[in-house]
Amino acid sequence: MELKWKTCVRAGVTILALYALIHYWSAFAKVLGTAIGAALPLFLGCAIAYVVNILMSFFERHFFKNRSNAVYDRLRRPFSMLLSYVCIALFAVFIVCMIVPELISCVRVLIVQFPKALESSYQWLEENVPISGLFQEENNLFANDALNLKENVTKAFQFLFTGVGGAMGAAFGIVTTLFLRAMTFLIAVIFSIYILSGKETIGRQLSGAVQVYLPDRLVKRLLYVLRTLDASFHSFIVGQCTEALILGGLCMGGMLLLHLPYAAMVGCLIGFTALIPVAGAYIGGIVGAFMIFTVSPVKAVIFIVFLVILQQLEDNLIYPRVVGSSVGLPGIWVLAAITIGGGVLGVVGMLLGVPLAAALYRLLKEDAAERKRANKKTGE
């Protein structure tokens, strides 16, 4: 078998490219990170557009139905898009208004109660374990008036003026970071609006470009993979939101029956954090237990027991029926996808892991079935 010169050139170019990639990996990673950072608003805009499109498509299917008027056709898309963004914005404002004020009040309660609790703990220790002798040197320090007021004021002013540069720099850095994040989000929202406004045109353009530059067989395979990914993500988002609403409602109802404080707020928090598969409810439960603890430690323990029982019911009854069946992924692979995705990309990985694993599972399953059918035909 003779080797063609084109094959040798391709192999040489591939080896050279791999060597350059490995040898200059640090520089390549830096350039790649810069490019991803520059394009982050666009990626975020695509993600926002995909989520909003689910709600927008629902509104388009149910509003202006059976209307042949051109005016209705023009108004259908803008009205549905505006309604989708308004619904999502109202939901975000509702969650913030429900959680943040109560959380701030709990922190204030802790700040007020902490000195009293510390004093009570010290008195108990003093009664049971004589610890005053351990701090004799410190007591003598205070007794001998070693801490001079003038010296303390002088040190405070010195620290203020010497550290003001660092404090101002940190404050400026925080303000700059918040401003950049806000601008990134604003650009992403604007970009998502452009995508949703002309999604059919953008789809036709991308499809035409792919068909021109790629072989037909590869185009069919690529479109099939994209349709599978779209179905998996769509089912996951709808199922996860439904499951979060059910879990939040059950949590709030159970807390009302048990006469636990912050029932509405903790129920909203549990429902919101339940958007993160499996582990999300526990994350919200930690914050909820912390807030209830400021009112009554006993009720906080009751809440933890209740949440564990509710989470077990959710994992074994609600989640498999609502989300597991919708994405078509067995429970063991859901847990594996969340674990691997969370370890690689954190919370974002936990969100993306399940639909990606579901799409991969479906592709492999169908490919294996197709290969089995081909082998049977060959055997016949």
Q: Flag whether 360 is in a domain.
A: yes
9 inside domain: no
Contact 359/279 with Cβ under 8 angstroms?
no
Mean pLDDT of the chain: 76
Assess if residue 300 is contained within a domain.
Answer: yes
Q: Is residue 138 part of a domain?
A: no
The answer to whether position 230 is within a domain reads yes
Q: Can you give the residue range of the structural domain that contains 343?
A: 216-372
- Residue ending a domain, among 158, 182, 213, is 213
Tens digits of residue pLDDT in 296-334: 888 888 998 998 888 888 776 766 666 666 666 776 777
pTM exceeds 0.75: no
Rounded Cα distance, 323 and 30, in Å: 38
Q: Is residue 241 part of a domain?
A: yes
Residue 3 lies in a domain: no
Residue 226 near residue 362, CB atoms below 8 Å: no
CA 144 remoteness from chain centre: 56
C-alpha to C-alpha distance for 251 and 245, rounded to whole angstroms: 10
Give, for all 380 residues of the chain, the pLDDT tens digit: 445 666 777 777 778 878 777 877 787 778 877 887 788 888 888 989 998 998 888 888 877 665 666 667 777 888 889 999 999 999 888 888 877 777 777 667 666 666 665 666 666 666 665 555 544 444 444 444 444 544 555 555 555 445 545 555 666 677 788 888 888 889 989 999 999 888 888 888 888 888 888 888 888 888 888 888 888 888 888 888 888 888 888 888 988 998 888 888 888 888 888 877 666 777 888 888 888 887 788 888 899 899 888 888 877 676 666 666 666 677 677 777 777 877 777 777 777 888 888 888 888 888 788 888 777 776 55
Closest alpha carbon to 193 in 59, 88, 57, 46: 46
Task: Please calculate the CA angle 373-378-379 and round it to the nearest 5 degrees.
Answer: 95
Say which residue the tokens 């805009």 belong to.
Answer: 45
Rg of the chain over CA atoms, in angstroms? 30
Site of tokens 């557009």:
49
Condensed to tens digits (0 to 9), the pLDDT of residues 22-68 reads: 877 787 778 877 887 788 888 888 989 998 998 888 888 877 665 66
Q: Name the residue among 285, 286, 349 with its Cα closest to residue 311.
A: 285
